Amino acid sequence: MERCPFCGWQLISCSCVFKKLGYAYKEKTWDEETKSLRGHPTCGLPKDVYEKGLPPKQEKKWHKILEKKGRIPYIVYPLLCSRCGEHWPDFFMVPDDVWEHYVEPMERDSIICMPCFREIVTLIDGDPDVLALLNDKAILHFHG
Ligand SMILES: [Zn+2]
Ligand SMILES: [Zn+2]
């Protein structure tokens, strides 16, 4: 996500755009008592802008303001399997004791892809229970 050069937050979710364009933007605040957001119903913005976003003219103006300030280029640092270098491997989870049994201390904070982990298990002791666990993708995958 591109960062906002004014506040450092994600550009698409910060409110600098409204402030810089001169709107009286008012952040809604969380109200502990009623467990809901409170504040101005349209955050101090014209209803149209609040509901549909900026008109194209203002959008352009905002882009000029951004350009002038200097945009922060979004640079991707891909996650790699630390063994085979696979980009963005599917994440999976195994119990800590299993992880520590197979993965050497220096690599325990690394990302290891499923095929590599399976290979490591096979190389070390080939524990059939662990290998069965690794085949049960439905339980292990929480992403991808
Ligand atoms: Zn911002
Ligand atoms: Zn790998």
Name residues with Cβ closer than 5 Å to ligand 1, which is an ion: 4, 6-7, 14, 16
pLDDT tens figures, 68-107: 999 888 888 899 999 999 999 988 888 889 999 999 999 9
CA 138 to the chain's CA centroid? 22
- Could you say which ligand is closest to the alpha carbon of residue 12? 1
128-136 contacts at long range (C-beta below 8 A, 24 or more positions apart):
130/94, 130/98, 130/102, 133/94, 133/98, 134/92, 134/94
Identify which ligand lies nearest to the alpha carbon of 92: 2
CA distance 139 to 92: 9
CB 28 within 8 A of CB 20: no
pLDDT in tens, 107-143: 999 999 999 999 999 999 999 989 988 876 545 444 4
